[in-house]
Chain A
């Protein structure tokens, strides 16, 4: 899916970028939503990730854009922004459309229950489990996105899932 978009971005950044937002926006938003458990934060972070990505791509040469793995790269930006989010919040300009200031929360059924369960995991486990099982990323991509070794990522996922099982058993 992403191979063609890399080529399109390298030849026409402005023309192809909205497609990236459409294809990746849902995945980034819902991943960040499950990691942060907050609609507003996930929305801000998704938006800011794309804005940073667009600026960065404008400075890259076309070969670098063609050869990059777009999704893990976007996740690296998103996760870094998430870490600095509280510190940066006041500095970032907020862009809102006039008509839908305070956008509707698109939360799905069971979302809150799962946020509560995921809240029992530590941040590394939660991120790894979300990227692997909610977003469906492979281990190499998660390794690239988080900057953590493959073995550590696998252990985070394993322990995270075990904890979720435990939490769900305790619920019944």
Chain B
């Protein structure tokens, strides 16, 4: 046999996993893996852009994903460079160093979700606050629908956005009971929030500093209870000489 003939026989088959690896690396397919959270087992999907979704790990999650994102899913390990940040991001309720893929929502919605991600653990904000933060104070409903479309709940903590009337509001990740559980897990008491709302308390100020905050802002929670004054509106607080907190930026 000639050398040329022998050389031409030095080809085998396609190695296992090659097509799949390319599909994941190009983002034609998203990978998924399971994680633990305060509300049980969740499934996180990812592609080269970052984490694309988080959902309850039930038997239908693949169907829901392909319906919404129109891409297939494949069990995979998250990329080595940032996969390690997924669990801490779920626990902390903020993306931190984790890249997120928000291509599934509009630029406005991504902006709203970006602001949502800044609400600290243990605190909540009303929808109107989000609208104001993205400089569209009149777009409260649009801000609400952006939060409802959040593809990455828990990591983008939309459970920390509540209605101004004190109701917890809806929650996409398995229903409002999960939202209550999550807020309690983070030390925010939903019954306390509702109690404030029935008394029409929207803001609270510290009479020793004359600073007015959202009631869950850590600044006002550190105040002595004797100094805490409740307000129905920001205008009422300003009339009494209070200025808005620079950390929680109360508005409206």
How many Å lie between the Cα of A18 and that of B20 in the bound state?
A: 9
A47 within 8 A of B: yes
B40 within 8 A of A: no
B10 touches A95 (CB 8 A): no
Going nearest first, the 9 A-B pairs with the smallest beta carbon separation are A133-B7, A93-B79, A51-B25, A54-B26, A30-B11, A108-B12, A50-B22, A95-B25, A95-B24
B10 touches A47 (CB 8 A): no
How many Å lie between the Cα of A43 and that of B13 in the bound state?
A: 12
B28 within 8 A of A: yes
Q: Is the interface of B mostly helix, strand, loop or mixed?
A: mixed
Chain B's closest residue to A94 (CB) is B80
Q: Which residues of B contact A51 (CB under 8 A)?
A: 22, 25-26
Count residues on chain B whose CB falls below 8 Å from chain A CBs. Answer: 34
Report the minimum CB–CB distance from B183 to chain A (whole Å): 33
* Sample (18) of A-B pairs whose CB atoms are under 8 Å apart: A18-B28, A21-B19, A22-B19, A26-B11, A29-B14, A48-B25, A50-B26, A51-B22, A96-B17, A96-B21, A96-B76, A97-B24, A101-B77, A103-B17, A104-B16, A108-B9, A134-B11, A168-B3
A30 touches B10 (CB 8 A): yes
B10 touches A114 (CB 8 A): yes
A7 within 8 A of B: no
B13 touches A17 (CB 8 A): no
Please pick, from A18, A111, A161, the residue contacting B19 in the complex, using a CB distance under 8 A: A18
Total cross-chain contacts (CB, 8 A): 122
Q: Which residues of B contact A54 (CB under 8 A)?
A: 22, 26, 28
Q: Which residues of A contact B4 (CB under 8 A)?
A: 133, 161
A26 touches B21 (CB 8 A): no
Known: A51-B25, A54-B26, A164-B3. A103 touches B76 (CB 8 A): no
Known: A51-B26, A54-B26. A106 touches B16 (CB 8 A): yes
Chain A's closest residue to B79 (CB) is A93
Chain B's closest residue to A58 (CB) is B26
B208 within 8 A of A: no
Binding site for B on A (CB under 8 A): 14, 17-18, 21-22, 25-27, 29-30, 34, 39, 43, 46-48, 50-51, 54-55, 93-101, 103-108, 110-111, 114, 129-130, 133-136, 161, 164-165, 168
A98 touches B11 (CB 8 A): no
B167 within 8 A of A: no
Residue of B3, B6, B22, B24 most packed against chain A (CB within 10 A)? B22
How many Å lie between the Cα of A108 and that of B7 in the bound state?
A: 12
Please pick, from B9, B17, B26, B33, the residue contacting A100 in the complex, using a CB distance under 8 A: B17
Q: Which residues of B contact A104 (CB under 8 A)?
A: 15-16
How many Å lie between the Cα of A108 and that of B6 in the bound state?
A: 12
Report the minimum CB–CB distance from B78 to chain A (whole Å): 9
Please pick, from B7, B22, B80, the residue contacting A47 in the complex, using a CB distance under 8 A: B22
A134 touches B16 (CB 8 A): no
Q: Which residues of B contact A48 (CB under 8 A)?
A: 25
Residue of A17, A18, A97 most packed against chain B (CB within 10 A)? A97
Report the minimum CB–CB distance from B48 to chain A (whole Å): 7
Chain B's closest residue to A23 (CB) is B14
B16 touches A98 (CB 8 A): no
| Contact indicator per residue, chain B 47-79, by CB within 8 Å of chain A (1) or not (0) | 010000000000000000000000000111101
Q: Which residues of B contact A106 (CB under 8 A)?
A: 12-16
B25 touches A97 (CB 8 A): no
Report the minimum CB–CB distance from A39 to chain B (whole Å): 8
Report the minimum CB–CB distance from A4 to chain B (whole Å): 20
How many Å lie between the Cα of A97 and that of B18 in the bound state?
A: 10
